[in-house]
Amino acid sequence: MKLIVGFLLYLIAFTSSYSYAASGKMQLDTVDIDLSDKASLQRGAKIFMNYCLSCHSAAYMRYNRMGKDLGLSDAQVEESLMFASDKVGDTMTVAMRPKDAKKWFGVVPPDLSVISRARGTDWLYTYLRGYYLDTQKILGTNNVVFKDVGMPHVLWQEQGYVRKDSNNQLHALAGDQTTVSEYNMMVRDLVNFLAYIGEPSKIQRLALGKWVLLYLALFFFVAYPLKKAFWEDVH
């Protein structure tokens, strides 16, 4: 009897804490990631270099490796994507010193090489679209999935001002629907790029996978008649 009561209590405690965790969680918007979409990855790279690399590094990534994966020549990479470095074989480091960053933002901006795997792409997509005006904050903004975030809304000129209502819904203040969907596409390209740098060899794996399947399919037509020939006399 004691055991059963204990078990029931345990069950209640477990399920209630579980539902608490679920309700405390913000609903994430889903984003479709497509690493074979080179144009999207190129646009994402451009946004990343322009808006993010001034504070965040991506130290596991080299410019020339990225160029090759995204279908760009070294010259193209140097001309349109390199602002923080001068050698195409360099990794994506950042000029800001950690000590200064700490002074300016209170926290050092983390390296973004594997952020897509740490946070997930849906989280990133929601986060970068989740800034809203908050007069209580020094930066003037807050974020729906990262409360009291120390990062300013660096893309505010692209998105415009956003207000949060009492139901936690976000509303663009002046933006028309085109601006909203353009901003969503821009963030999608950026998150696509972040997914790519988190796992750069995935592009090759996906490409290789097609050939492996084709090989297996063709091999079937060799293996099956062989099998038939071998077993002919056994039956």
Size of the site for ligand HEC (CB under 6 A): 21
Reading the block at residue 77, the tokens are: 């990479």
CA gap 112, 59 in Å, rounded: 8
Applying CB under 6 A, does 155 fall inside the site for ligand HEC? yes
Q: Which is nearer to ligand HEC, 31 or 115 (CB)?
A: 115
Return the residue of 119, 139, 161, 172 that touches ligand HEC, per CB under 6 A: 119
Residue nearest to ligand HEC (CB): 52
Q: Which two tokens stand for residue 203?
A: 């592009």
**Closest to 59 (Cα-Cα) out of 111, 132, 136:** 111
> Which of 72-80, 151-159, 160-168, 198-206 is the region at the interface with ligand HEC (rule: CB under 6 A)?
151-159
Could you tell me which of 95, 114, 109 has the C-alpha nearest to residue 152?
109
Contact with ligand HEC (CB under 6 A): which of 94, 124, 144, 162? 124
Tell me if 56 contacts ligand HEC by CB under 6 A: yes
Q: Is 65 in the site for ligand HEC (CB under 6 A)?
A: no
Select from 33, 35, 45, 52 the one that contacts ligand HEC (CB under 6 A).
52
Contacts (CB under 6 A) with ligand HEC, residues 160-219: 190
Whether residue 129 contacts residue 135, with contact meaning beta carbons closer than 8 Å, is answered with no
Which pair of tokens denotes residue 104? 């300016």
Residue of 117, 123, 118 whose CA lies nearest to 143: 123
Place of tokens 């690493």: 35
- Residue numbers at the binding site for ligand HEC (CB under 6 A): 51-52, 54-56, 105, 107, 109-110, 112, 115, 119, 124, 127, 149-152, 154-155, 190
